[in-house]
């Protein structure tokens, strides 16, 4: 009311400005009250959340205290399993390395044996070449010797037949001369005349 009296004494433009300022202060005061209430409500809910969290932490600690004796063997067992798994992994790793080394050694041995076998096959092929050449030479020598013996025997037979022919009386001698020394004559294949007469 006092404000209205003061406003009535002032000029209307100033009164209008003062009224606006009053309303803005009322809005500001209302906003401050609302914000204060909101902070109080927020603090209330935060306090309830903290109390609930504290209770949850206590319950969790109680459960942990109850479970601690039960988890101790589980943790020990898990540690033992992890240790065993590490030992198994190390063992498998060693075995794989040994197997890899063995395969590498076998591969080297097979390569060495293969190289030695190839060398032996080459050596054997060289020996076979020498044996074949010697056998060919021996066969050629044998064939040449056989041909020489055959020619010698033919020559001896002809000379014997010629000497026998000259030793016969002239009436019993052959009348045709031998044209082919390799072909046997009819008289040479026939028995001697003395045998026929006898």
- In degrees and rounded to multiples of 5, residue 93 shows phi and psi of -60, -45
pLDDT tens sequence across 11-40:
667 767 777 787 888 888 999 999 999 999
Task: Write the DSSP symbol of residue 192.
Answer: P
pTM: 0.34
- Confidence label for 193 from pLDDT (cuts 50, 70 and 90): very low
The greatest distance separating any two alpha carbons of the chain, rounded to the nearest whole angstrom, comes to 205
Average pLDDT over residues 105-126: 93
Per-residue pLDDT at 182 exceeds 60: no
- Confidence label for 44 from pLDDT (cuts 50, 70 and 90): very high
pLDDT at 190: 46
How would you class 18 by CB atoms within 10 Å of its CB: exposed for 0-12, middle for 13-18, buried for 19 or more?
Answer: middle
Q: For 2, how many CA atoms within 13 A lie in the half-sphere containing its CB?
A: 0
What are the extents of the domains in the chain?
A: 2-174
Angle between helices 12-167 and 2-9 (to 10 degrees): 100
């Amino acid at each position: 009311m006092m404000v209205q009296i003061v406003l009535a004494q002032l000029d209307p433009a100033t009164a209008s400005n003062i009224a606006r300022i009053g309303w803005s202060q009322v809005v500001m005061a209302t906003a401050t009250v609302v914000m204060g209430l909101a902070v109080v409500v927020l603090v209330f809910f935060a306090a309830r959340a903290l109390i609930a969290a504290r209770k949850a932490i206590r319950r969790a600690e109680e459960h942990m205290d109850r479970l601690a004796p039960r988890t101790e063997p589980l943790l020990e067992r898990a540690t033992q399993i992890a240790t065993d798994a590490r030992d198994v992994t190390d063992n498998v790793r060693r075995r794989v390395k040994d197997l890899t080394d063995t395969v590498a050694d076998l591969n080297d041995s097979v390569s060495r044996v293969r190289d030695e076998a190839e060398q032996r096959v080459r050596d054997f092929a060289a020996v076979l070449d020498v044996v074949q050449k010697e056998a060919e030479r021996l066969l050629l020598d044998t064939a040449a010797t056989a041909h020489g013996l055959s020619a010698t025997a033919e020559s001896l037979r002809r000379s014997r037949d010629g000497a026998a022919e000259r030793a016969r009386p002239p009436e019993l001698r052959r009348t045709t001369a031998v044209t082919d020394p390799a072909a046997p004559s009819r008289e040479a294949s026939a028995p001697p005349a003395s045998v026929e007469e006898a």
